[in-house]
Amino acid sequence: MAETTLDIQIEERQGVQVVTVTGPLDSVTYDLFREKMEPLVGTSSSRVVLDCTHLSYVNSRGLTLLARYQRLAAGTLSFFGIAALSERIMRAIELLGLAKLLTLYPTVDEAIKAASSM
CATH of residue 82: 3.30.750.24
Can you give the residue range of the structural domain that contains 11? Answer: 7-113
Sign of CA dihedral 40, 31, 97, 82: positive
> What is the predicted pLDDT for the residue at 83?
99
For 68, phi then psi, to 5°, come to: -60, -45
Spatial separation of the C-alpha atoms in residues 38 and 26, rounded to whole Å: 17
> What is the predicted pLDDT for the residue at 32?
97
Q: How many other CB atoms are found less than 10 A from the CB of residue 11?
A: 10
> What is the predicted pLDDT for the residue at 49?
99
> What is the predicted pLDDT for the residue at 47?
97
In a domain? residue 1: no
Per-residue DSSP letter, 106 = S
Contact 114, 15 (CB under 8 A): no
> What is the predicted pLDDT for the residue at 1?
42
Number of structural domains in the chain: 1
Note the pLDDT tens digit of each residue in 9-68.
Answer: 999 999 999 999 999 999 999 999 999 999 999 788 899 999 999 999 999 999 999 999
Kindly report the pTM of this predicted structure: 0.95
Residue 118 has pLDDT above 90, yes or no: no
In a domain? residue 53: yes
